[in-house]
Homo-oligomer: A and B are copies of this chain.
Amino acid sequence: MARLAGVSRATVSYVLNNTRAVRISEPTRLRVREAAEQLGYVPHAAARSLRAGHSRTVVMPAPAFPAGPLYTRFLGELQSALGRLDYTVVQYGGAAPYGDDAARAWAELRPIAVLVPGPGLGPGGVEVLKRSGARAVVTLGPEPVEGAHALVLDQTAVGHAAARHLYERGRRRVGVVLPEEPGLRIFSSPRLRGARSALRGTGATLTELPLACAEDAAARLAARWDALALDAVFAYDDAYAMLLSRALQDHGVTLPGRTAVIGADDLMLGPLLRPRLSTVRLELPAGQDLAALVDRAVRDPGAAPERHTVRGVTVVHRESS
């Protein structure tokens, strides 16, 4: 490459990086650019970051479960915002199981920042990452982690708003769906806690309703509906709400007449159901905001971990409640 342009490797580096401290003549620049084009030259990221002592790579684990469209959009925004701040965002996929092993795997890439949604990172993992040179570790989920910045998505607020809404609509016997999928526990149990706290001291009752994400499970639950005598149900999220609504309607339960239903996360399908599904939406921050947090943390790695709690919720009242 340097040979083809008839200059030294250093000059090539100067030209391609537009190094301003050094002034290169226009003809030389041109020759270098042409040679690069012709050879299809692409710089070697590994060599560059080895030399620089750091990369501008932000690592996130690739989501393991199909995420909702809301979250997907948030992720997309976040990535392009980080891109605009000149970070390279990389989702680490593959066999790496969650836990401190995963942290070690991420650390091998020497990322400048690590962004972990959900659980799956303990204080040990944070320590490993920081020692490997990560200047910012940000968790994103229901629980903060020792030593890391956190965007805490307060799922109790979702449960609280849902239960409160049902109570205000005059309902007194409230069921709360608990998905049996173990991966959802981290979300469902704070939602349950929130619902419980909203009803505490009101005289209304709360009934836990474990439910697998399958039609027959929903049908079995619906079959017990008379015995349960619930006049309202918070269905964990809109998908479960749809599942359960369907089963209840097939079972002859009128919605919202006999039982009010409310979901969460404002999925696209809510307004398409009949009755249109009421839902609770947690106000995710804009991707830009989280990107800005990351950038701030990178610039000032010494600062105390920021902890932002998102507990703003919107109840979208449609017809089912």
Given contacts A40-B128, A45-B108, A66-B72, contact A93 B91 (CB under 8 A): yes
Set B43, B72, B73, B108: member contacting A108, Cβ < 8 A:
B43
A155 within 8 Å of B (CB atoms): no
A40 surroundings in chain B (CB, below 8 A): 127-128, 131-132
Contact in complex: B272, A45 (CB < 8 Å): no
Neighbouring B residues of A65 by C-beta, 8 Å: 72
Residues of B close to A47: CB separation below 8 A: 46, 50
Residue from B49, B83, B94 in contact with A94 in the complex, judged by beta carbons closer than 8 Å = B83
When C-beta atoms are compared, the residue in chain B nearest to A218 turns out to be: B272
Residue on B nearest A49 in the bound complex, by CB: B46
Is A172 an interface residue, CB under 8 A from the partner? no
Contact of A269 (CB < 8 Å), options: B84, B104, B242: B242
State A44–B109 Cα separation when bound (angstroms): 7
B107:A82 contact, CB within 8 angstroms: no
- List chain B residues, Cβ under 8 A from A72: 65-67
A residues 53-75 touching B (CB-CB < 8 Å): 55, 60, 62, 64-69, 72-73, 75
Enumerate A90-117 residues with CB–CB distance to B below 8 Å: 90-96, 104-105, 107-110
Residues on B with beta carbons closer than 8 Å to the beta carbon of A64: 76
> In chain B, what residue has the closest Cβ to A130?
B40
Copy tally for this chain in the complex stands at: 2
CB-defined contacts of A162 to chain B, threshold 8 Å = none
Known: A80-B94, A84-B95. A239 touches B215 (CB 8 A): no
Beta-carbon contact of A44 and B110 below 8 Å:
yes
Distance of A121 from chain B, by nearest CB (Å)? 15
Question: Is A170 on the interface with B (CB-CB < 8 A)?
Answer: no
| Complex: A68 Cα to B104 Cα, angstroms | 31
Chain A interface category by residue count: 35 or more
Question: Are B94 and A79 in contact (CB-based, < 8 A)?
Answer: yes
Chain B residues, Cβ within 8 Å of A107: 42
Task: Please indicate the chain B residues that have their CB under 8 angstroms from the CB of A92 in the complex.
Answer: 88-91
B79 touches A93 (CB 8 A): yes
A219: min CB distance to chain B, Å: 12
Q: What is the minimal beta-carbon distance from A62 to any residue of chain B, in angstroms? A: 6
Interface residue? A243 (CB, 8 A): yes
* Docked complex Cα distance between A272 and B43 (Å): 52
The answer for the CA separation of A96 and B89 in the assembled complex, in Å, is 10
In the complex, A210 has a CB within 8 A of chain B: no
Residues of A at the B interface (CB closer than 8 Å) are 39-40, 42-47, 49-50, 55, 60, 62, 64-69, 72-73, 75-76, 79-80, 82-84, 87-96, 104-105, 107-110, 127-128, 131-132, 215, 239, 242-243, 246, 268-269, 271-272, 274
The 3 closest A-B pairs by CB, nearest first: A83-B95, A83-B94, A46-B46
Q: What are 10 A-B interface contacts by the 8 Å CB criterion?
A: A39-B131, A42-B104, A42-B132, A45-B108, A46-B109, A66-B73, A75-B93, A82-B94, A88-B94, A90-B90
